Chain A
């Protein structure tokens, strides 16, 4: 988007006017869809969060900010918020770090056959549905009869509790989701790596720069816009985690994997309190906006745009 302003506003000719109108017409379908499916629901969400009653009651009563008060006073909700933040932190950090490492490795070996195969294997989980992946891992991670533990035992390690213990369940889910999402992010970062002009590397080579230094001083800054993009996308998607929680743990054990979206679902449909669910939805909205804003703000200084 260019912000340049011309000093004298030119008078629009007939042709230009038509063109401008055409622009609006072309944008209209997208804008209308956005209003109907995003803006209106958003406003209704905020409006509904001020009411009590259940989903099927004819006239829910106005309760003001009571739903928000209930949320802030509820220990369970605090736990849910912490879980969501911890989960997001684990997934985003693991995903980005692993994606950069794997992408760099693949990039350095890009002319070998092995590379194609590895790339395919890493990308495959991304196209499987979350439901299948979760069901699969529910069995793999079973602490008593699961495959992962029998491997661990065969290698001489103790069994890991995975989803059975409140201490490890959230991390286990994060691990599955990192495994599932990794391929997509690797692909994005690979694309960024391929766009780095080779003359920069050649210059570094002439100066005899050590490999690690090249990586941190050249590679990372050059792909930083992509890293920013991936971290924003990964953050938002991990804030919205639902399917895997719903299938693998149902928020348990001991509420240790209950995250915001799952909480919203439970209150809206299971416990019949849509007001409280909407209030939690508003909080989710605020969180996602704030974190995205922060990410852009903080990284503005650190991201290098070509």
Chain B
């Protein structure tokens, strides 16, 4: 009897160990893939970073692709957010187990391109009569060319936009979104009080600091490309704005870092705790669907000029495949970039349509009728700033810019000092 109990117990313990191991594995399963590969079809593995409703949309698009023909079968696998997926992808590529196609956050494309592991899509793009490379908006092709090779195609591209609680703004006596920083500060203050904050911003993600800095007339890189391009007023002004708003009591700072601070902020916005916020345009549908007030979208308010910092993800394919697989991959990538599919993806999320064909697709136009602010971000395409491939970008963005933004806002450093530190430390990366 005792022996049996011991065996049972040790088995139970072994099970918990196994459960611990498989915890990470479960989430990498396909989100409800339907059917199996038809006989003779080339199977393509596609890694993406879209969870919840956007993930379901990707699966739907992939399922439609699989159903539309029987030569290629795509298996879509969710690999966690950009950071997590980036981790897995690096490990997979270095271990020689790269998927065929992957969705990569744009600033990471350069790392793979310089390591020479990406497939050059240019021969396919040029020789395929069904594909028109020039139809894609130039604004979203910024991370596509590397040393003359076409290494990636635009997929879920986004810009930061200003979301506002239309009801709260109306109640405070305003009938339009803020267009300038001064207006934003004034309106935020008017909506603040009684546990409600007029404006929220995630300090943990310096994408938004850069977005404001651009509207103050700065550049991400200087002209020589060897340091930050906001070692002047444009760098200090956003910090001063936030400090002023903290003094007003109108700035809501979410906790957590990176993507966690963003989701905390969105929760606060949907709960009505903060009434204006900067977030990625891709969040539009989800914010509208989960809020019980009207959600408005506007450009990031300007100080001296409108500007948009690119964000989101591109599709890449990895080199080293058989010719058969390459052709299958191209078919899939071409499909993802086609007007109707890109339009459907943009309509379902708030990501940018990547071409006129996508913008004018029926599904996008229909959705526009229901979600009137869906295309605000599209107009910002004209203000896209160019960003070079830079391997140090993430480290500088997080560890230098992000660090001194926090030093200033919660650490008490003056804006001038903070920007001076950014300049010194970022410069060291390019020596």
Contacts of B268 in A (CB 8 A): 145
Query: Mask for B242-284, Cβ within 8 A of A = 1, else 0?
Result: 0000000000110111101100100010010100000000000
Q: Tell me the smallest distance from the CB of B25 to a CB of chain A, in Å.
A: 14
Q: Tell yes or no: A176 within 8 A of B by CB.
A: no
A-B pairs with CB below 8 Å: how many?
A: 89
Query: Mask for A237-255, Cβ within 8 A of B = 1, else 0?
Result: 0000000000111111111
B255 lies within 8 A of A143 (CB): yes
B111 lies within 8 A of A270 (CB): no
CA distance A254 to B411 in the complex (A): 8
CA distance A270 to B105 in the complex (A): 12
> With A54-B111, A54-B115, A58-B116 in contact, is A250–B256 under 8 Å at CB?
yes
Q: Tell me the smallest distance from the CB of B164 to a CB of chain A, in Å.
A: 20
Q: Tell yes or no: A174 within 8 A of B by CB.
A: no
Q: Tell yes or no: A101 within 8 A of B by CB.
A: no
CA distance A165 to B411 in the complex (A): 9
Chain A contact patch, size range: 20 to 34
A252 lies within 8 A of B83 (CB): no
Q: Tell yes or no: A302 within 8 A of B by CB.
A: no
Query: Mask for A46-60, Cβ within 8 A of B = 1, else 0?
Result: 000000001111100
CA distance A250 to B87 in the complex (A): 15
Chain B contact patch, size range: 35 or more
CA distance A56 to B117 in the complex (A): 8
CA distance A150 to B87 in the complex (A): 38
A253 lies within 8 A of B406 (CB): yes
Q: Tell me the smallest distance from the CB of A59 to a CB of chain B, in Å.
A: 10
CA distance A252 to B203 in the complex (A): 10
B23 lies within 8 A of A138 (CB): no
B410 lies within 8 A of A166 (CB): yes
B410 lies within 8 A of A56 (CB): no
Partner of A56, one of B83, B94, B271, B403: B94
CA distance A57 to B411 in the complex (A): 38
CA distance A252 to B257 in the complex (A): 6
Partner of A55, one of B91, B257, B395, B410: B91
Query: Which residues from 309 to 350 on chain B have a C-beta closer than 8 Å to any C-beta of chain A?
Result: none
A145 lies within 8 A of B273 (CB): yes
Q: Tell yes or no: B394 within 8 A of A by CB.
A: yes
Q: Tell yes or no: B34 within 8 A of A by CB.
A: no
Query: Which residues from 213 to 255 on chain B have a C-beta closer than 8 Å to any C-beta of chain A?
Result: 252-253, 255
A270 lies within 8 A of B83 (CB): yes
CA distance A163 to B254 in the complex (A): 10
CA distance A273 to B391 in the complex (A): 10
B91 lies within 8 A of A270 (CB): no
Q: Tell yes or no: A129 within 8 A of B by CB.
A: yes
Q: Tell me the smallest distance from the CB of A138 to a CB of chain B, in Å.
A: 7
Q: Tell yes or no: B86 within 8 A of A by CB.
A: yes
Q: Tell yes or no: B90 within 8 A of A by CB.
A: yes
Q: Tell yes or no: B170 within 8 A of A by CB.
A: no
Contacts of B203 in A (CB 8 A): 252-253
> With A143-B255, A165-B410, A254-B406 in contact, is A57–B115 under 8 Å at CB?
yes
CA distance A120 to B307 in the complex (A): 57
Q: Tell yes or no: A300 within 8 A of B by CB.
A: no
B256 lies within 8 A of A138 (CB): yes
Contacts of B253 in A (CB 8 A): 164
Chain A contacts to B: CB under 8 angstroms: 54-58, 76, 129, 138, 141-145, 162-166, 247-255, 265-266, 269-273
Known: A54-B115, A144-B273, A164-B253. 14 other contacts (CB 8 A): A54-B90, A55-B90, A55-B94, A56-B90, A56-B94, A57-B115, A58-B115, A76-B403, A142-B255, A145-B273, A248-B256, A251-B257, A254-B406, A270-B83
Pull 17 A–B residue pairs with CB atoms less than 8 Å apart, ordered by A.
A55-B94, A56-B93, A56-B94, A56-B115, A129-B23, A141-B255, A145-B268, A162-B255, A247-B260, A250-B256, A252-B406, A253-B410, A254-B411, A266-B398, A269-B83, A270-B398, A272-B394
6 interchain residue pairs of minimum CB distance: A250-B257, A269-B87, A271-B395, A55-B90, A252-B257, A56-B115
